[in-house]
Chain A
Amino acid sequence: MSLVGVGHPLASPEAQLRVLETRRHRAWKPFEQALAESGLFPLRATGIRVLQLNLGKLCNQTCRHCHVDAGPDRREMMSRETAELCLAALAQTDIPIVDITGGAPELNPNFRWLVEQARALGRHVMDRCNLTVLLLPSQADLAQFLARHRVEIVASLPYYQQRETDAQRGQGVFAKSIEAIRRLNTLGYGQPDSGLQLNLVYNPTGAFLPPNQKSIEADFKRELWRRYGVRFNSLYTITNMPISRFLEYLLRSGNYERYMERLVNAFNPEAAAGVMCRSTLSVGWDGTLYDCDFNQMLELSVSYGAPRHIRDFDVAKLATRQIRVGPHCYGCTAGCGSSCCGTITSSAR
């Protein structure tokens, strides 16, 4: 069950923000100060390269670290009308990438229509896929659909072993994920020269930072091929954000202070300069605009004079907007940095 489903106090974004603001060690500088000392405050967008559409919170899994608090009990879904507004906004720009996420975005009845329309506009489309959705009887032809439309698949797989993966994503998820990758490989995904991109996402399975992306990618490639005979293109390492279910885990397990200290101490100005919010616009299921998917879950909509809803889309204002930041942003600037496409910098921690 989601935090919302069990009525947990941390289901509320206000409660999460209160924890982040009040449970601060005096040695942790405010994120704004860390940016200012690096000459990056106020942080501004440098353009919009990625339009990230969150189609809703419905998911067939209930992962323990989920920053969306998604699950089978959630019903928030982007309507056709809002999806049309997103496409209208896209059509009036040359934004090259549409990044579709959720929940499990494929469970939104408008998903396939949206993919077709975005592809018809000539845009690159990414589907953030949990892999197991591909095995649902209702989605039996989903993999073929994605391949037909040359959709890039960005799929979560936190480790190349069952124990770690199932501990984070639920009992039996690892075996299903391997089966889903096998099916995608059969269609050409992850195969050399097919042009069908299958990229995996590594999230730490606990209160620690991700390893070096190149190094763990080599481990994944070697082990997934050796043990299961499956392939993929690239591995993206993503840091767990101290919000929503992962925040609840950090507090419940007594890891909160230490984890935050780890993020704060690992602040990397080079990563801060390249954070994804500077080149992304995130759209919520109800059309509200955000700087990123994490701000979306904290209900921190775009601000400082930028339009707050997709119906008022104004590319000039949004492409240069000031970005809202908070203590959770340390998650994207720690070490080599973290974004929806993995590490931001190549420098060592």
Chain B
Amino acid sequence: MAGYYHQEDLPRFAEMGQCAPELWQKFSDWYGAVFSEGALSAREKSLIALAVAHAIQCPYCIDAYTQQCLETGSNLDQMTEAVHVAAAIRGGASLVHGLQMRNAAAKVSL
């Protein structure tokens, strides 16, 4: 196997419904409802999805939501800022755990 991720697998996502069609249907309906226009616009939801895709580092999601962001009118500046938000939260999440380190160190220190 040349690698674990293949771009051509993305359109095959629906094959996940083959052995659990009811679960797949529930997921598909919910997913569709989540991304339709609501209190947030489709464009805002796509930017959130793009940021989350980077936080969870899913290449399929990055591919799909880059396209989706462009197709909902976002530009590269806005998409880059969304990725920075994800990166900042990830970085901040690591850093704030420094307090655990400080607490642990304090506990065993004179």
Stretch of A47-55, A201-209, A323-331 with 4 or more beta carbons under 8 angstroms from chain B: A201-209
Interface string of A142-166 (1 = CB under 8 A from B): 0000000000000000010101100
Given A208-B67, A261-B11, A348-B36, check contact A215 B72 (CB 8 Å). Answer: yes
Contact of B73 among A206, A219, A261 (CB under 8 A): A219
Interface flag for B28 (CB, 8 Å)? no
Given A261-B11, A348-B37, check contact A211 B75 (CB 8 Å). Answer: no
Interface flag for B84 (CB, 8 Å)? no
Distance in Å from the Cβ of B28 to the closest Cβ of chain A? 15
Name A204's closest neighbour in chain B (CB-CB).
B70
Interface string of A207-240 (1 = CB under 8 A from B): 0111110011001000000000000000000000
Interface flag for B76 (CB, 8 Å)? yes
Name A161's closest neighbour in chain B (CB-CB).
B75
| B76:A211 contact, CB within 8 angstroms | no
In the bound assembly, the distance between CA atoms of A49 and B41 in angstroms comes to 35
8 A Cβ contacts from B15-48 to A: 36-37, 41-43
Distance in Å from the Cβ of A206 to the closest Cβ of chain B? 7
Q: Tally chain B residues at the interface, Cβ within 8 Å.
A: 14
**Contact partners of A209 in chain B: CB under 8 A:** 71
Dominant SS among interface residues on chain A = loop
**Contact partners of A206 in chain B: CB under 8 A:** 70
**Contact partners of A216 in chain B: CB under 8 A:** 73
Given A348-B36, A348-B37, check contact A212 B72 (CB 8 Å). Answer: yes
Dominant SS among interface residues on chain B = helix
| B73:A163 contact, CB within 8 angstroms | no
Name A219's closest neighbour in chain B (CB-CB).
B73
| B11:A212 contact, CB within 8 angstroms | no
In the bound assembly, the distance between CA atoms of A209 and B72 in angstroms comes to 9
In the bound assembly, the distance between CA atoms of A211 and B71 in angstroms comes to 5
Interface string of B65-92 (1 = CB under 8 A from A): 0010011110111000000000000000
Name A218's closest neighbour in chain B (CB-CB).
B73
**Contact partners of B73 in chain A: CB under 8 A:** 211-212, 215-216, 219
In the bound assembly, the distance between CA atoms of A251 and B37 in angstroms comes to 34
Distance in Å from the Cβ of A250 to the closest Cβ of chain B? 14
**Contact partners of A211 in chain B: CB under 8 A:** 43, 71-73
**Contact partners of A161 in chain B: CB under 8 A:** 75, 77
Interface string of B49-75 (1 = CB under 8 A from A): 000000000000000000100111101
Distance in Å from the Cβ of A86 to the closest Cβ of chain B? 37
| B71:A215 contact, CB within 8 angstroms | no
| B70:A159 contact, CB within 8 angstroms | no
Name B46's closest neighbour in chain A (CB-CB).
A211
**Contact partners of A261 in chain B: CB under 8 A:** 11
**Contact partners of A210 in chain B: CB under 8 A:** 71
In the bound assembly, the distance between CA atoms of A161 and B11 in angstroms comes to 32
7 nearest CB pairs, A to B = A211-B73, A216-B73, A208-B70, A211-B72, A209-B71, A208-B71, A208-B67
Can you name 6 A-B pairs with beta carbons within 8 Å? A161-B77, A208-B70, A211-B72, A212-B42, A219-B73, A261-B11
What 13 new A-B contacts, CB under 8 Å, besides A215-B41, A261-B11? A159-B75, A161-B75, A204-B70, A206-B70, A208-B67, A208-B71, A211-B71, A212-B72, A215-B42, A215-B43, A215-B72, A215-B73, A219-B73
